[in-house]
Amino acid sequence: GGGPAMSPTEPEPPAKRAKMAVSAAAGAKWKFMSAWFCPYAQRAWIALNHHRVPFEKIEALTLKQAPGEALKDVKGYEKHPLLLKHHPSGLVPTIVDSEEAQPAVYDSLTCVQFAEDLAASGAVDGRSPLLPVEPVQRARARMWTDWVDKNLCAPYYSVLVPKEDERRRAGFDKLLHGMRTFQASIKGPFFLGEELSMVDIAAIPWAYRIFSCGIIDLYRGPAFALDSEELAPLLRWLEACLALDSVSATLADKQRLVDTYKRYADGTAESKVADAVRAGKTANDHE
């Protein structure tokens, strides 16, 4: 596909617009295209909440659940026309201003940084900065954020997606190693200390899925169990994160979330993440 579009595309015809079923959040400056089950979208959601950015949340990926079909057996989803209009591949999170007058912002960590920039510019009455002020510490926070992406988020899919036990095991070992490294560097209560940061936001959605929802144990069995005693510092960190209103407001129902991962776990997921992992690549910011 092309690069990020440099200018907004043509407005949708009225017929398509009528189907958009967006909730009426009067006065919201930003349209936030999300999906309740998507951990990448959840990152953006937490950052928007944290900085009190006024947004209208639009569920832009609708699971194709037939009448009588259980959620866990749903295969694909439909994409909202507003999403397809503003993201070349129709991925969430995607953020656009309410007038759709400017080009869209997407990619989860770019959306987090966008919320931070809105707060830094004074455009919103944000809370504590998500990155330290001092340049070296700022750089370190960015490095840890990228590190979380590669060492905690990507291996999660390497445990769930492959069909071969050996590959699952290698993914699990990488995930466990990542967890040990991460928790050894937590300053507490949050990763960088007293305040929530971009590093925490990068990790929270996967930690919630692993520890609060127990998705790995559930789909991969006791051989892939995590030792809550060994990982106690990580669990304390997660508890501190989940206690924040900006985070708790983004937590999907556990059982519903568990059900959606059946698509990954039984190899039927029709998603870019699953395709990438099956092809032997690293999971990344795909949906």
The footprint of a copy of itself (CB under 8 A) covers 2-4, 6, 97, 102-103, 105-107, 110-111, 113-114, 117-118, 121, 123, 133-136, 138-140, 142-144, 146-147, 151, 181-182, 185, 280-282
Nearer to a copy of itself, 77 or 144 (CB): 144
Other CB atoms within 10 Å distance of the CB of residue 265: 18
How many angstroms separate the CA atoms of 226 and 68, rounded? 35
- Compute the least distance from the CB of residue 26 to a copy of itself, in Å: 22
The residue among 241, 157, 232 whose CA lies nearest residue 195 is: 241
Nearer to a copy of itself, 182 or 206 (CB): 182
Nearer to a copy of itself, 77 or 191 (CB): 191
Nearer to a copy of itself, 139 or 218 (CB): 139
Beta-bridge mates of residue 61: 79
- Compute the least distance from the CB of residue 257 to a copy of itself, in Å: 27
DSSP letter at 253 equals P
How many angstroms separate the CA atoms of 231 and 229, rounded? 5
How many angstroms separate the CA atoms of 198 and 145, rounded? 7
- Compute the least distance from the CB of residue 19 to a copy of itself, in Å: 26
- Compute the least distance from the CB of residue 187 to a copy of itself, in Å: 8
Residue 79 backbone dihedrals phi, psi, to 5 degrees: -105, 135
The β-bridge relationship of strands 94-97 and 105-106 is antiparallel
Q: Check the CA dihedral 248-252-258-262 and report its sign.
A: negative
Nearer to a copy of itself, 68 or 280 (CB): 280
- Compute the least distance from the CB of residue 81 to a copy of itself, in Å: 21
